[in-house]
A and B are shown apart, each in its own frame.
Chain A
Amino acid sequence: MIGYFLRRLVQSLLILLGVSIITFVLLYWLPADPVRQIAGRSATAQTVENIRQQLGLDQPLWVQYWRYLTGLVQGDLGRSYLQKTEVSTLIASRLPASLLLMAGAIFAELLLGLSMGIVAALRRSTTMDQSLMIVSFIGVSAPQFVVGLLLLYVFAVQLGWFPIGGYGTFSHLVLPSITLGILGSGWYSRMMRSSMIEVLRQDYVRTARAKGLTRLRVIFRHALPNAILPIIAMIGIDIGIFMGGIVVVESVFGWPGIGQLAWQAIQRVDIPIIMGVTLVSAIAIVIGNLLADLISLMVDPRIRTEL
């Protein structure tokens, strides 16, 4: 077990190294000059050259990367080109908000998705099943910007049940979590349904029913634990899906997370921030997958992990 964990750790570090190299190279190739962004539109050629030298951007690619890497292992993510503030400060001040939002979204999507999926599986081929299928597909097809604004408009502006965006209390968390979670709930509900149907058909389930166990007991003790396996694998993917949606949802609800930070940095070619956010999200994804794998192991011990 320890051996497995250590192996995964080493592999994860290699992955992070790989991501950092790929990102750095892509940013280098980006046909947009970060120095020009810093120097602004009124700068003379001299000013531009000065800034380029100050930031070490006149050095060859591998020299720049090496300097970055050596800083990284000491915990220094560098300073933003445009703000001059330390990247670690910027990320640290915004990461908790994004993590909170992700937690809220995972809760919302599991709640909505799993319940819809279980009901659909139990009421298979009825009108209820069809309707839930349509609802799931709507959840996946609806653009998050529109969903967010719609929820905001109806529940915050018209009904006044929630604040109009913002951050700080539980009631601020509800609408953005639902918005971010609706997309995922469509996936979870379909997967849960299909997984449940598969499991309910298995012999051991029929055996349990034949033995006289109540339906509920069969579902919760025998069907669910097996049906849940692919769901756990999906939670690991969630973080990747969220990365896309988080920019939109955070902007609509004024949620002070890293999505906004990343988006602005990409537009302004603020390389240190882009590197920092990419690495942080890579770490999150790697940890997420690792946790998902470990949980799968606990739920279904028959899965022997790779030797």
Chain B
Amino acid sequence: MANSVNIELTVALSAERGVIRQFARRKLALFGLFLVVFTVFSAVFAPYLTGFDPNDQMFDGLTLHGAPMPPGGQFMLGTDLLGRDLLTRILYGARTSLIIGVAANGLALLIGTIVGVTAGYFRGWVGSMLMRLTDLMMAFPALLLAICLAAIFQPSLWIVALVIAIVYWVQTARVLYAETASLAEREFIAAERTLGAGHMRILLKHILPHLMPTIIVWGTLGISTTVLLEATLSFLGVGVQPPTPSWGNIIFENQTYFQAAPWLVFFPGLAILTLALAFNLVGDALREILDPTQRGRD
């Protein structure tokens, strides 16, 4: 008895270590992971990484005519239109943007996957209803909802995360619906059914792995999209209010100045880009490793 348990445990552990080892062999994936960790680190430890306060409008942060300072000197990435240090604001902004890019985006991805896969697999009446629901959500005037919420409730990061998740899941749902519908028609699925396999087993073992590439694409590109969407919503009054920084709202409030002060758009944009790319590198590697058809090809 003890022996068989030991053997199972050893097998399980070595499979685990196999994944980690395979991951460690992919340099790009490690790099991506490092970037993600670094972003989280900056968000959490921002106060210790920089000597400035993100909301401190400093006298020497502006020229005499009121123009922002370019990168260099004590302001490594320059200052913004109120004389605040840009690097500090980007570091503190990581907090908001991580919550949006990871939590809101992740939630939207989850809802979209559940709805799309269910509709595509079961089809019929259920599928039809779910797809019409996505049509409705697509046509839904989200901007109006945002304005209403902004005036009624205290503006809060969680409200904007919720609004984004509500509005954003539809795209993933539609694409996964199309792919699932196509997959579900394949002969091997029918074969599995006749063999008596349950729905959950088929979904998890046969369908979901084929959907992983799409889910990863959507999840990673979605980070950029949702972060920028947060900026639009906060412009309407939902979400973080000034002076709290987020990468999206730094870009948004300074985009007309990009000719005079390009650093104000470039650096936060670079931050968004980097985070999305980093998740993409990690995701791609994980997908390759976990793909049953690829196992053993390393």
Contacts and interface: CB of A to CB of B under 8 A. Distances in A.
Contacts of A198: 210, 213
B130 to A, nearest CB: 10
Main secondary structure of the interface of B (DSSP, over half): helix
Main secondary structure of the interface of A (DSSP, over half): helix
B258 interface: yes
A229 B182 contact: yes
Contact of B135 (A137, A150, A289, A307): A289
B259 A153 contact: yes
Interface in A171-222: 186-187, 190-191, 194-195, 197-198, 201
Interface in B4-45: none
Contacts of B127: 306
Given A26-B141, A303-B185, A233 B177 contact: yes
Interface residues of A, number: 65
Given A29-B148, A137-B280, A194 B182 contact: no
Contacts of A145: 255-256
Contact of B221 (A18, A30, A137, A230): A137
Contact of B138 (A29, A138, A146, A240): A240
Contacts of A241: 171
A302 B185 contact: yes
B139 A282 contact: yes
A103 interface: no
Interface string B118-139: 0000011101100010011011
A195 B218 CA distance: 13
B252 interface: yes
Contacts of B293: 201
B132 A140 contact: no
Interface in B247-297: 251-252, 255-256, 258-259, 265, 269, 272-273, 276-277, 280, 293
A266 B135 contact: no
A25 to B, nearest CB: 10
Given A234-B174, A241-B171, 20 more contacts: A11-B128, A11-B135, A15-B132, A19-B140, A30-B144, A31-B152, A137-B273, A138-B273, A141-B269, A141-B273, A143-B228, A145-B256, A146-B265, A186-B221, A240-B138, A266-B144, A278-B144, A285-B135, A285-B139, A306-B128
6 contacts: A30-B147, A194-B213, A232-B178, A234-B174, A244-B232, A285-B135
Interface of B: 123-125, 127-128, 132, 135-136, 138-141, 143-145, 147-148, 151-152, 170-171, 174-175, 177-179, 181-182, 185, 210, 213-214, 216-217, 220-221, 224-225, 228-229, 232, 251-252, 255-256, 258-259, 265, 269, 272-273, 276-277, 280, 293
